[in-house]
Amino acid sequence: MESFIVEWLSLLGRWVHMITGIAWIGASFYFVWLDNHLRPPIEKADIDKGVGGEIWSVHGGGFYHAQKYTVSPEELPEKLHWFKWEAYTTWITGMFMLALIYWYGAELYLIDPQVADLSKPVAIVMGIATLVVGWIVYDLLCRSSIGQNESLMGVAMFVLLVFAAWGLCQLFSGRGAFIHFGAMLGTIMVANVAMVIIPGQRDLVTAKEEGRVPDPIHGIRGKQRSVHNTYFTLPVLFVMISNHYAMTYGHEYNWLILVGLSLAGALIRVYFVKRHFGKASLLPLLIAAVLIAGVAALTVPTQNIATASTTPADAKAEPIVASFAQVETIIEQRCVSCHAESPEYPGFYSAPLGVSLESSEDIIKHAQRIYQQSVATKAMPIGNLTKMLDEERALIGQWISDGAKAE
């Protein structure tokens, strides 16, 4: 019953997280687009009122006229909409999923003894510390002299994120490292909203209500953090889907793959933001394409992966002979406790990703997936809970290399 409840909580939590995330990202992308498409107001009356930019648009059969004030209007409207709950709810549901899957199930998804033999409490504390320290370092950089120069800030953030990706991959399983990297970026994004953007907007509103001249610094800081958030978005989205692709998080150089694809995502977003101002250089897209191609090349499986662990240096050594009976025994001992219609391992209510390996037909049907997960990347069994040996991985790899036949 416990695993059934956890699975339903996971489903509902993931669903709500996606819904609120779409709302937040949609609003964020729209306002970045809007800000970059504003034109000087045409009417002198608007200029006199403090309007700094405006744009006309058409959508859904109607015309819209959006205006942005240089600082604030002379009088506040009765109804003022705040864009904050989309961000807050996305982070809350994201933390719920992180706690449910990667902290509650740390021994499954967060800890890998082959990477670092951590206790569950220590691993969880380290995960939480990653989120807190990541925000503190980023915020200090923004408030320092480095933060006044966006080029220097970009370099500093790149160094910080490379160090974070490398460090997390030395502590946690590949999946755990990737998701905490994304959670750190997501925490920075929501903290930008909660700690900088919204307080600045509140001060602008309060200043108007009290008859004070609003401080324009809040608009400057808010714009900086909003721009940073839009560049973080695609890397975070990559991390959200990465757990489906063991070729990334399960690779020997997983931290480098994480950095490369995150940078590619940021560069893609850079290009589209530049497009807001008209024709833009294709250089960011080209660099992103090269990075993605480089990562793809890095993850190409090689035939010797299957046998590297058991092939002696002596070239005269006997080649590995693998029979289906041997493979079937290994799968039954190491995989079926989870990959079954009714898993025996605690924490699983149904077979992960619907992949059951209880029959010969199932094993043959999923042979390539077995190779990718248990041989090429060694991502499975999760955390090597069932202690699959390198020799066993080699046998599976050889069997698949020989044609994955039931004989």
DSSP string, 106-168: HHHHT--TTT----HHHHHHHHHHHHHHHHHHHHHHHHSGGGGSHHHHHHHHHHHHHHHHHHH
Query: How many helical (H) and strand (E) elements, i.e. helices and strands, does the chain have?
Result: 16, 2
Lowest-pLDDT range of 159-173, 175-189, 202-216, 234-248: 202-216
Decide if 68 contacts 51 (C-beta within 8 A).
yes
- Give the per-residue pLDDT at 346: 64
- Give the per-residue pLDDT at 242: 92
**How many CB atoms neighbour CB 10 within 10 A?**
16
Residues 123-142, mean pLDDT to the nearest whole number? 96
Residue with tokens 């996971």: 10
Residue 250 has pLDDT above 50, yes or no: yes
At 264-289, the pLDDT tens digits run 999 999 999 999 888 899 999 999 99
Residue with tokens 């998080």: 249
Decide if 342 contacts 356 (C-beta within 8 A).
no
- Give the per-residue pLDDT at 209: 82
At 94-108, the pLDDT tens digits run 999 999 999 998 988
Residue 367 has pLDDT above 60, yes or no: yes
Residues 158-163, mean pLDDT to the nearest whole number? 95
Q: What is the mean pLDDT of the chain?
A: 87
Burial bucket for residue 83 (CB in 10 Å: 0-12, 13-18, 19+): middle
**Phi, psi angles (nearest 5°) of residue 55:** -155, 140
- Give the per-residue pLDDT at 329: 87
At 163-190, the pLDDT tens digits run 999 999 999 999 999 999 999 999 999 9
Task: Work out the pLDDT band at 336, boundaries 50, 70, 90.
Answer: confident
Residues 31-56, mean pLDDT to the nearest whole number? 90
- Give the per-residue pLDDT at 230: 93
Q: Between the ranges 29-43, 236-250, 252-266, 329-343, where is the mean pLDDT highest?
A: 252-266
Angle between helices 174-191 and 254-275 (to 10 degrees): 30
284 versus 361: the higher-pLDDT residue is: 284
Query: Cα separation of 241 and 381, whole Å?
Result: 19
| 32: nearest Cα among 290, 282, 262, 234 | 234
- Give the per-residue pLDDT at 347: 65
At 53-74, the pLDDT tens digits run 999 999 988 999 999 988 778 8
Query: Cα separation of 92 and 340, whole Å?
Result: 33
CA distances for 68 relative to 76, 146, 194, angstroms: 13, 29, 22
- Give the per-residue pLDDT at 317: 52
> What token pair was written down for 190?
């929501």
Question: How is the chain split into domains, by residue range?
Answer: 87-298, 324-401
Region label for 227, one of left (φ > 0), alpha (ψ between -120 and 50) or beta (otherwise): alpha
